[in-house]
Amino acid sequence: MSDLNEMISCCGSDCSACYCYGEMCKGCHAVCGKVFHAPEGKECPIFYCCRIQNGFHSCGECGNLPCDLILGTNDPRMSEEELMKNVDERVKRLRR
């Protein structure tokens, strides 16, 4: 897998473009889903569903994309319109 692919999380987010990437977070794949915003010692719920529960490499393999988990996990600074644009971009990234 290329370094670029390693920067795309299982939910389609580009970790390298995130303001948290670097000091606060090393990226979804690098930390096996145990990102800074997940409960201590637990995986992100999207990572857990995708990788652990369903055995997918990414949510792009799931027939329910975008699901309630993806639609419900957003940056509180985003408007509903921004969230939907972000989800659309992530879905396109995953289905390439």
Structure tokens at 23: 């000091």
Compute the distance between CA of residue 73 and CA of residue 68 in angstroms, rounded to an integer: 8
Q: Taking all residues of the chain, what is their mean pLDDT, rounded to a whole number?
A: 88
Model confidence, pTM: 0.85
Which pLDDT score, from 0 to 100, does residue 25 have? 86
Question: Which residue's structure tokens are 């509903």?
Answer: 80
Residue 3 predicted with pLDDT over 70:
no
